[in-house]
Structure 1
Amino acid sequence: MGEVRNGVVETIKTIVYALLIAGLFRTIFFQPFWIPSGSMKETLLIGDFVFVNKMSYGYSYASCPSIPFVGIDAADLCGWMRSDNSRILGSEPKRGDVVVFRHPVTGDDFIKRLIGLPGDRIQVTDGRLIINDVPVEIKADGTFDEVMERQGPQGSTPICANGAVGLGAICEKERFIETLPGGVTHEILNVGTQSLDNTGVFVVPDKHYFFMGDNRDNSTDSRVAQTAGGVGFVPYENLIGRADRIMFSSAGRSMLYFWTWRSDRFFKAIR
């Protein structure tokens, strides 16, 4: 009986140690992140599963994981690290990085492309991004086509440039290649004339950053102030890490639907 009891105790200890190691690994090195929305198409699709490199920019309170199902936020675990918008072992992000960050007000995790650095002047005019009074280079690159269907666990449907197409039809968006100052080149999508195609000038404050989604007409980002439900300027300490690679991808409502797996996106680099 004693051997059985000891065996159970050892099993429990092994499970606890494994969970602690996994939690430590997740807190210090990498954090998994599911893409829940289409704001970063076609760079990231709904159902992509990425690993976020937390070592990219050092560590802050935002580096701690949230446990939403028990109501624990990163600030609850690591609020002691919040002070003067700084980081431990911090390094500066680069323009064009795809970054996961914590929303300054809601605490929700977002993933967007870093567009504006501290001191930059950012504006959008007729859908064209302007950085420090210079229009960013763009080049037409055909269309991005996808089937009009409900996507991901939320069952959201895409927005199309070719009108309100029915389920099962092809939904089109204009695709452009955008080259940011510094040389980062990536795809952006355009649906048509939208309210955020023309903005005022945003001057990025010190130790803050300006983010936009690659799917420009379907993205909640820094073009809208936090008080109006947007992202606004994101403090340095709210950065979680850089997304470098898609590890897995599923187009279905659940990752268990193996027939919806996108094998061509497994281990795909993010640029």
Structure 2
Amino acid sequence: MSFLTAALDWRGLTGRAGFVLAAALVVGLMVAQAQVPPLSSTGAGVALAAAASTLLFWGHARRRLRAMGWSGWWMWGLAVPLVSLALVAIMAVRRNRPDAVPGPFSQAGRALVWVMVALIASRVAWAPYIIPTGSMSPTLQPGDYALATRSLTAPERGAVVVFRHPVSGQDFLKRVIGLPGDRVQMRDGQVILNGTPVPQAPAPDWSEPNRPTAIGTRPRCLTPTAPGAPCIKQAARETLPGGPTYTVLNIGTQGTDDTVEVRIPEGHLFVLGDNRDNSLDSRITQGLGGVGLVPLTHVAGRVRLVLYSQEGREGRLLRTVE
């Protein structure tokens, strides 16, 4: 029986070498999964390989415990941090019991492993993102743990997308404002789309604590604000043609409030942050630190949901992204 097929037969026995190989495969692929861009073609391949290696590892782990003469319940110790390290080390060096023989196994245990494998494989279609800055506030706030799904079609106006910066390759999250063929301009802080102002309705001021974000920056406020005090911003509800209505923020007159009209070429998007005066987006060229016009080929997915806030912000649990 080969190394691959043996992992599917939980009744059998696995020696030290087979278990070490299975452990090395799963660790290597999990590390690789953390390094590749989420929702990319490479990331999809690594996710599927990681799922397959997980199935191999747990199958050989169960067989290895039987070969050592240990109960299969020890297998679940491999899911516990620190305990798993000690257990893997023991399983890698301990000799087989001379009287070890194949035997039955728990069907429920194998079912749980298949659930774990399916969850890992599902990373082909989704990826989590931790929001480091307030450039998309209030839609996405610093510390939000957000979920994005793979893009199967071109994004529409108003969609909040994940894309890789054309120069740095870093992941950015912004809102799509202009599609190929559109003409986009900023005038007095208002979006002019194809010659027509995008309507904005007044909304109550929005505030957040004036404290550092995950990358050490502080929010910009309407007026000078002491650390820890409420940082106030003007807010408005903006509605794109045929798109959603969402909240945008303003802290006063800025250099990016007025831009020249840009016609979006084929295969590109014009994107903005909802926190208009605190966002490096398509208003700013790549040479000046912005993102410029974003190639459609760099769009990885669409942000769908905020799962929760790592900073404990209220109202962030299972919040749908507008």
Q: Is 1:146 the counterpart of 2:208 in the alignment?
A: yes
Q: Could you tell me the TM-score, scaled by structure 2's length?
A: 0.65
Task: Give the CA deviation at 1:108.
Answer: 0.8
Correspondence for 1:227? 287
Higher strand share: 1
- Structure 1 position 268 matched with structure 2 position 279: no
The residue that corresponds to 1:35 in the other structure is: 131
- Distance in 2, Cα, partners of 1:244 & 1:184: 13
CA contact (8 A) 2:126 2:148 kept: yes
Q: Which has the larger radius of gyration?
A: 2
RMSD (Å) for aligned C-alpha atoms: 2.2
For 1:168-218, what per-residue CA distance to the aligned partner results, in whole angstroms no more than 9, with x for missing partners? 222100010000011310000000000000000011000100000000000
- How high is the TM-score relative to the length of structure 1? 0.77
User: 1:121-270 maps to which residues of 2 (within 5 A)?
Assistant: 121-151=183-213, 153-161=214-222, 163-251=223-311, 261-262=312-313, 264-270=315-321
- Kindly state the Cα deviation for residue 250 of structure 1 after the two structures are TM-superposed: 1.5
Matching residue's letter, 1:12: A
Equivalent-residue separation in structure 1 for 2:22 and 2:164 (angstroms): 36
Query: Whole-Å Cα distance in 2 between the matches of residues 242 and 116 of structure 1?
Result: 16
- Read off the aligned partner of 1:262 and give its amino acid letter: R
Name the aligned partner's letter for residue 132 of structure 2.
Answer: P
C-alpha spacing 1:17/1:193, structure 2 compared with 1 (3 Å): closer
1:3-14 paired onto structure 2 within 5 Å: 5=16, 8-9=19-20, 12=23
Which has more helix, going by share of residues?
Answer: 2
Structure 1 residue 263, shift from structure 2 partner:
5.9
Q: Is the 8 A contact 2:157 2:243 kept in 1?
A: no
How far the C-alpha of 1:228 sits from its partner, in A, is: 2.3
The answer to whether 1:49 aligns with 2:111 is no
Matched, 1:107 2:166: no
- Higher RCO structure, 1 or 2 (CA under 8 Å, sep 6+): 1
Tell me the amino acid that sits aligned with residue 215 of structure 2: Q
Percent identity between matched residues is: 42
Deviations 1:39-81 (A, max 9, x none): 0000010011112101x3x3xxxxxxxxxxxxxxxxxxxxxxx
* Cα distance, 1:262 vs structure 2: 3.4
- The secondary structure found in structure 2 opposite 1:188 is strand
Number of residue pairs the alignment of both structures matches: 224
What runs of 5+ residues in structure 1 fail to find an aligned partner?
59-90, 252-260
